[in-house]
Chains A and B, each alone.
Chain A
Amino acid sequence: MKSLIVENLHVSVDDKEILRGVNLEIKENEVVALLGPNGHGKSTLLAAIMGNPRYRVTEGKILLNGEDVLKMSVDERAKHGLFLGMQYPSEVPGVVNADFLKSAINSRREKPIGIYEFYRQLEAASKKMNISMSMASRFLNEGFSGGEKKRNEILQMLLLKPDFAMLDEIDSGLDVDALNCVSDAINDLKNESLISFLVVSHYARLYQLIKPTRVAIMVNGKIALEGGAELISRIDKDGYEWLKYEKGIEIQKDDQVAMRSTSIGSCAVKEAIKK
């Protein structure tokens, strides 16, 4: 049985500690929803698991099927089955989408994929994501709309077929049709394989569509509460203030200050560490 285990994870960015002892386990074929106020470390957790060099692990463990993820380079993590669908995918000028996708597929195969087979898979995934095949010949994410970038992230997930997919606000900026398209892709992949998901979103709509098996709430750089889908409904209705009165979880004030100075559409952690 495959598993991703995070134990007492502490992560700093530019010497500012963001994660302060995260414990989380994701089992095979689970869909875990990760919620929490802005700037409390959700994106940091995903980036640290994937190995973004800006995020420095100072303490703790990440185990993937019992193997130490922290000893793996970023590409090794990907080859071991981790995938991160990013909130703000990089625009890489000059790198043709199709060339990149072929290299990514080949990175986990002993024998390079044949050109016919590659285009067959790409066409099927593009059709599923309602993406024009002409996007394959454009530069990677360059000039893509916000929605196109998110669809392209999911298209990559469909082609790479990871064991553990982490999706960071994959629904932000999507219109209703695109959201349905993305959630259908997630559900189909879940039903066709034993893939597990760790999904960050602020909106109940995506979670209604993909039906998480478990919910974790991150506050102050820790998983403060775990439970079922009822937590999503409660947060959607009442926000996070009730955590203080009903669960005794204080939402730290210095992060709130960082929140106030952060504009909509920007990552609160990235803004906070700039200060």
Chain B
Amino acid sequence: MIDILNENLDSKTVKKSFNNDKLTFSFEKNSNVDGYLNVDDCAQSQIEIICDEESNIKIVQLGSKDANFNVILKEKSCLKLEICSLDFSNKRTYKFKLFDSANLLCAYADFCTGIEAIDVLISLKEPNARALWHLAALAGKNDRKTMKVSFDHCAVNTYSEMNNYGVCKDESKISFLGTSKIENKASKSAAHQNARIMVFDEKCRAEADPILCIDENDVEASHAAVVGKINEEHIFYLCSRGLGEEEAKRLITLGYLNPIIAYFDDQRIKEDIANAIIKKV
């Protein structure tokens, strides 16, 4: 895995440009990159990532700094974005534009502390574009986390899927918001939203509000929102086998959050996330 900011890469693979406000990475046609970007190392807060036609890019995004991302996935390009946020919270926007047959997979491991606001808009501009978003977040103490994840289906046969899982403890607050919009003439498209938050304590607050706006008949859409305590029957089941109540809760919570780890490929990052989850749970 290479440091895409600081390491010198072949100009046939990526072109980097800098100015006062904006940092741009242009991944060239057919390029294949497995790298990471630490936003704390970036002088700029506007970061643009352009994946040219048929490029296959994987980026692990690290760091805590506030930043605004503009990401363009051109025809048949593929981007896997693994976002690892384990320290301090931040304010970020992500704007993705996906063109013909582009493919986005975004996994967000959010176990940082503080006040956080994440605003994501994924526009599926051309036919056959696909986007999968999976987020796992844990808030404790006085953390405030707001995640707005929206999709805009503008073309036929586009697909979006969002899975947001949250655990809310102490006096923290988690909000999962977002809209999946299927525009007129975006037929054969599918949009699925799944937002679930498990609340632990009486003083914590959680809201999950997935919205579907459908302006086309021939589509497939679903949304699910669940906010609630740990299932008492699950705790009873585990305790009936000898696990103490705290251990049962811990196992259920880990089970709720751990699936995000599977999206990350780097073993050290996997361990960092697992340790962050265990520490906070």
Contact = CB atoms under 8 A, between A and B. Distances in A.
Interface of A: 50-54, 73-75, 77-79, 83-84, 86, 89-90, 92-96, 99-100, 103-104, 107-108, 139, 156, 160
A94 B255 contact: yes
A54 B233 CA distance: 9
Nearest to A104: B241
B227 interface: no
Interface stretch (B66-74, B138-146, B245-253): B245-253
Nearest to A78: B242
A52 B239 CA distance: 10
Interface string B224-243: 00000001111011111111
Given A75-B239, A75-B242, A89-B237, A96 B255 contact: yes
Nearest to B196: A93
3 tightest A-B CB contacts, nearest first: A94-B255, A107-B242, A74-B239
Contacts of B240: 50-51, 74-75, 77-78, 83-84, 86
A52 B240 CA distance: 9
Nearest to B250: A103
Contacts of A139: 255
B11 to A, nearest CB: 45
A99 B256 CA distance: 14
B239 A92 contact: no
Contacts of B30: none
Contact of B232 (A54, A103, A156): A54
B111 to A, nearest CB: 16
Contacts of A89: 237
Contacts of A73: 239, 244-245
B231 to A, nearest CB: 7
Nearest to B255: A94
Contacts of B245: 73-75
B258 interface: yes
Contacts of A108: 242
A87 to B, nearest CB: 12
A83 B237 CA distance: 11
Contact of B233 (A51, A75, A90, A107): A90
A73 B245 CA distance: 9
A78 B242 CA distance: 5
Contacts of A79: 242
A51 B235 CA distance: 12
B242 A160 contact: yes
A99 B233 CA distance: 19
A141 B252 CA distance: 13
A115 to B, nearest CB: 18
22 contacts: A50-B240, A53-B236, A54-B232, A73-B245, A75-B240, A78-B239, A79-B242, A83-B241, A89-B237, A90-B231, A92-B238, A93-B255, A94-B252, A94-B254, A94-B257, A95-B252, A95-B254, A95-B255, A96-B255, A139-B255, A156-B241, A160-B242
B251 A100 contact: yes
A266 B167 CA distance: 32
A75 B243 contact: yes
A41 B205 CA distance: 39
B258 A94 contact: yes
Given A93-B255, A93-B256, A86 B242 contact: no
B195 to A, nearest CB: 15
Contacts of B241: 78, 83, 100, 104, 107, 156, 160
Contacts of A103: 238, 243, 247, 251
A18 to B, nearest CB: 17
A104 B244 CA distance: 10
B238 A100 contact: yes
Contact of A92 (B232, B237, B242): B237
A139 B154 CA distance: 37
Given A78-B241, A107-B242, A107-B243, A94 B256 contact: yes
Contacts of B252: 92, 94-95
Among B238, B252, B254, B257, the most chain A Cβ lie within 10 Å of the Cβ of B238
Given A100-B238, A107-B242, 8 more contacts: A74-B239, A75-B242, A78-B240, A86-B240, A90-B237, A95-B254, A95-B255, A104-B238
Contacts of B243: 75, 100, 103-104, 107
A108 B243 CA distance: 9
B149 to A, nearest CB: 21
Contacts of A93: 255-256
Given A95-B251, A95-B255, A99-B251, A90 B234 contact: yes
Contact of B244 (A54, A95, A107): A107
A36 B248 CA distance: 33
Contacts of A95: 238, 251-252, 254-255
A79 B258 CA distance: 28
